[in-house]
Amino acid sequence: MQRIKKICVQAAFGLLICLCTVESVCHASSIKSIAVSVNPLVSIVQSIAGPETEVQPMVAAGRDPHTFELSPGTMRMIATADLLVFMHPKFEFWGEKLTLDAQERSLWLEGTASHNSHYDVHDWLDPIKVIGFAEKIKSKLCNINRSDCEIYQTNFEKLKEELRLLSEDITYRAGRWKKREFVADHPAWRAFAVRYGLIEVAVLRESEMKQITVKEMAALIKMVTEKKVSIFISDAGGSSRISKSFLNETGLAEVQLDSFGHPGESYTSMMQRNLAKMESAFAE
């Protein structure tokens, strides 16, 4: 499987070289298309770039960014995009080779290649951090297309205010919740928890490469029972095998949250939908 993924990335890299040898093709004066790594970034980038720019996800909603394989169609989209936007080199590990020969039209929103060998925190679930990401996106768009920089700045300010109000709403609602502690399948909601005063007691899978051992599982089950933790957060796509085993042993209430959103769904809508689910569990 790893060999297949490597071949796919190399093929995409080769296609980038073929289509980007002519400078005018890769660095057009106007930004016609942008490819983002994961679905939640679509509406964020679209809000800044404007409706005339086509923004598409490399990993479609509902697909796992850790294990997906680049299709020929995705390779073509990446090769012809005016800008490539990624989250973190250790989250989209497959994106590093794609950007080697396209650094001027690539943007990593956080992290460096040597930052962390295990990284699965979905930082886009923290609206305040998203404001920082949005500012980086705005600056990159201005660097590529200076003639529309004022438009990007105006759009950014509108998005910033929307995200600020969203964060205020979450702060107010989460501040009234009676429960604070939870166990998670993986640390997707860690940044959200830190921002809004929730406590991630433990995770079963720190990353796809680092899962909890049998000994650690036994200790966690004992701790959960003693602390009377009652909430378990998992992905909307369904529980993993290890999660199902843990839930059977502990009887925790499972809350399935969607950190990637639906196709065409705005970032705020995705967050409000998840917030409603969390409120039902933590407010009781």
Q: What are phi and psi of 54, to 5 degrees?
A: -85, 125
pLDDT of res. 9:
46
N-terminal to C-terminal alpha carbon distance within the chain: 44
Which has the minimum average pLDDT: 9-23, 96-110, 270-284?
9-23
In the chain, alpha helices (H): 2-19, 23-26, 40-49, 72-80, 95-99, 127-144, 149-174, 190-196, 214-227, 241-250, 267-282
What share of the chain in percent tops pLDDT 70?
Answer: 80
Mean pLDDT in residue range 151-180: 97
Report the amino acid identity of residue 167.
S
Residue 236, token pair as written in the block? 């909307």
Q: Does domain 2-169 have CATH number 3.40.50.300?
A: no
pLDDT of res. 111:
72
Pairing of strands 181-184, 231-235: parallel
Strand partners, 56: 35
| Cα 83 to Cα 279: distance, rounded to the nearest angstrom | 37
pTM of the model: 0.83
Residue 7 predicted with pLDDT over 60: no
Q: Which pLDDT band, with edges at 50, 70 and 90, does 100 fall under?
A: low
| Cα 85 to Cα 139: distance, rounded to the nearest angstrom | 13
Q: Does domain 177-282 have CATH number 3.40.50.1980?
A: yes
Residue 99 predicted with pLDDT over 90: no
Residue 109 predicted with pLDDT over 60: yes
Mean pLDDT in residue range 139-144: 96
Closest to 85 in 3D by CA, of 122, 133, 147: 133
Which has the minimum average pLDDT: 56-65, 149-158, 192-201, 264-273?
56-65
**Start-end of CATH 3.40.50.1980 domains in the chain:** 2-169, 177-282
Cβ of 181: how many Cβ atoms within 10 Å? 17
Which has the minimum average pLDDT: 86-95, 194-203, 262-271?
86-95
